[in-house]
Amino acid sequence: MVLATQLLDWYDKNSRDLPWRKDNDAYKVWVSEIMLQQTRVEVVKDYYTRWMERFPTLEALAQTSEQEVLTYWQGLGYYNRARNLLSGVREVCAEYGGKVPDNAPAIQKLPGVGEYTAGAIASIAYNRPSPAIDGNVLRIFSRLFCLEEDITKQATKRKIDRLIRDHMSVERPGDFNQALMDLGSMVCIPQRPRCQLCPLATLCEAQARDVQDVLPVRTPKKAPLHIKLAAGIVIQSSSLLITQRPATGMLAGMWEFPTVELAEDDSTSERLKTRIKSDLQQEVCVGKRLFHYIHTFSHRKWDISFYQCQWLAGNTISFPAHWLGLSELDTVPWAGPHRKVATVLGEQFTQEL
């Protein structure tokens, strides 16, 4: 237990002051851990604080519409996290009387909760000796024990899981997991680990062999798929034409400007005009490009240009399309870079008033 003792001594003096660490309520740990997936701590702090002001309890969140929840999540990306969180708290209300289950296997059955999050909630909120293994922990343990196996492989993760269970503090498993999170973000960082500051330096095999800079071993990720898109900004009587994405799949249920995917030899204006005419029964004339963004998701990269479109004529539109007032642009959850454009248009509109 030397490892746990040294780690916890360090944690007691150096732990980060984070808003979700004010108490160990399971709902709060759950929200923070879901927000922290794919998003930096500094970004999450404000979102978490705003979220807890609006949804201070699990019950308050469970009673909220998906559209409002997505609006509060807007900007964090990976919106299925928010949808699953909402489904999860509703399930906890319906099946567990509003109390998050107190063990990792049961927590992991909730929507969107993986092994890591279940371990974090069970250990922090309920003091269960459940590992919470994310990329930080894989990196730290592959260095501590000088593992040369690929950390993206399941067999390596299982090996690290066993090592953690062997070394975990039984008295303070939640603090043990949080100490690893802090060590991974402040000391045993991906590039040039700060071994001179590390409480585990005397135990670390990688440091002893001076190979900490080449560990962990990891198969490189595939490059995201490059997708070229064009979107039309159609304004009529101080309203913008928007459409809702399908209920399933990427950015499900979020709103965007009418958008087309472009092939290499497509004429942008023709494709956009035809899409708006055939799907939305609106005649437009496509004008100049106003915005251009490259937006990278985990597996895709959107190369998207937004064009000014002059509205000429059209029939009444129906769901899933909508004319949204320029003063109401912050009332819907926007898909990816469409939010940046909506923000600029909203600001311009406010200045013109």
Complex with ligand SF4: residue 7 or 70, whichever CB lies closer: 7
From the CB of 116, what's the least distance to ligand SF4, in Å?
19
Check binding of 200 to ligand SF4 (CB under 6 A): yes
CA separation (Å) from 75 to 120, 154, 222, 249, 335? 24, 32, 25, 18, 9
Binds ligand SF4 by CB under 6 A, chosen from 144, 251, 280, 329? 144
Binds ligand SF4 by CB under 6 A, chosen from 178, 212, 244, 259? 212
Binds ligand SF4 by CB under 6 A, chosen from 146, 195, 227, 235? 195
Positions in 233-272 near ligand SF4 (CB under 6 A): none
Check binding of 4 to ligand SF4 (CB under 6 A): no
Task: Considering only the stretches 24-32, 40-48, 198-206, 309-317, report the one whose residues sit in contact with ligand SF4 under the rule CB under 6 A.
Answer: 198-206
Complex with ligand SF4: residue 177 or 207, whichever CB lies closer: 207
From the CB of 175, what's the least distance to ligand SF4, in Å?
18
Binds ligand SF4 by CB under 6 A, chosen from 187, 251, 262, 345? 187
42 is catalytic: no
The Cα–Cα gap between 49 and 142 comes to: 34
Binds ligand SF4 by CB under 6 A, chosen from 113, 121, 140, 286? 140
Check binding of 193 to ligand SF4 (CB under 6 A): yes
Q: Cα dihedral sign for 214, 216, 220, 226?
A: negative
The identity of residue 249, as a single letter, is G
From the CB of 192, what's the least distance to ligand SF4, in Å?
10
Check binding of 186 to ligand SF4 (CB under 6 A): no
Binds ligand SF4 by CB under 6 A, chosen from 104, 180, 188, 329? 188
The Cα–Cα gap between 199 and 302 comes to: 43
Binds ligand SF4 by CB under 6 A, chosen from 142, 177, 207, 244? 207
Task: Considering only the stretches 15-23, 194-202, 282-290, 307-315, report the one whose residues sit in contact with ligand SF4 under the rule CB under 6 A.
Answer: 194-202
Complex with ligand SF4: residue 140 or 342, whichever CB lies closer: 140
- For residue 304, what are the β-bridge partners? 229, 293
Check binding of 151 to ligand SF4 (CB under 6 A): no
Check binding of 206 to ligand SF4 (CB under 6 A): yes
Of 1, 3, 82, whose CA–CA distance to 47 is shortest? 82
Positions in 97-136 near ligand SF4 (CB under 6 A): none
Report the interface residues with ligand SF4, using CB under 6 A. Answer: 140, 143-144, 187-188, 193-195, 198, 200-201, 204, 206-207, 212
Q: Which residues are catalytic?
A: 33
